[in-house]
Amino acid sequence: MPPKNKEKGKKSGAQKKKKNWGADVVAESRHRLVVLEKELLRDHLALRRDEARRAKASEDQLRQRLQGVEAELEGARSEGKAIYAEACQREAAAAREEAEQALGERDQALAQLRAHMADMEAKYEEILHDSLDRLLAKLRAIKQQWDGAALRLHARHKEQQRQFGLTPPGSLRPPAPSL
């Protein structure tokens, strides 16, 4: 009994589909760009989280210090120590100024980070557009070579078919009878 043919339904002269290499290159390029953009956004998010965490910790620490100083001030007032109370008031005022300065520096650092992020996004977008423009130019240049090679190959196969006495596809005249 002969072995069964595993490729049932497939004609013996079936043409294979040509792969679209240009689309694959564009898709791969787009995929890389999406991955890079995702990593960039993840890094920005991590930077913002860290900065917010540090700012919150600094704010909590300054609040605790301020509460401690204010508690000392209340203790000094209750004991009637005016000199000590004045010193505590100065220290509390200094702590408030220090806290305000720290918050101002934090706000300034956040503004700088936002400006830097906007600048990076603009540069990234410019790089992306330049890369895609270069890729399109290369694809346009190679398309002419591909078209020329395809025409030469078609002409060669057509000539070979004529040499063997076959009618090339698209030809209207039948092959010449041989004597």
Pick from 67-81, 115-129, 133-147, 155-169: least confident: 67-81
The arithmetic mean of pLDDT across residues 77-83, rounded, is 69
The model's confidence at residue 166, banded by pLDDT at 50, 70 and 90, is confident
Q: Tokens 């806290």 label which residue?
A: 99
Instruction: Output DSSP code: residue 5.
Output: P
Which whole number is the average pLDDT over 75-104?
82
The DSSP element (H or E) to which 46 belongs, if any, is helix 21-79
Pair of tokens at residue 152: 């030469």
Taking only the tens place, the pLDDT of each residue in 2-38 is 666 555 555 555 455 555 677 788 888 899 999 999 9
What's the mean pLDDT in 39-45? 90
User: Model confidence at 80, in pLDDT bands (50, 70, 90)?
Assistant: low
Split at pLDDT 50, 70, 90, the class of 101 is very high
Q: How confident is the model at residue 70 (pLDDT cuts 50, 70, 90)?
A: confident
Write the single-letter amino acid at 119: D
pLDDT at 152: 93
Other C-beta atoms within 10 Å of 69: how many? 19
Going by C-alpha positions, the residue among 87, 85, 86, 89 that lies closest to residue 97 is 89
- Helix (H), strand (E), coil (C) string for 52-77: HHHHHHHHHHHHHHHHHHHHHHHHHH
b/e 81-120 (16+ beta carbons within 10 angstroms → b): eeeebeebeebbeebeeebeeeeeebeeeeeeeeeebeee
Integer Cα distance of 18 and 89 in angstroms: 83
Q: Is the pLDDT of residue 140 over 80?
A: yes
pLDDT score of 134: 94
Query: Given this model, what pLDDT does residue 179 score?
Result: 52
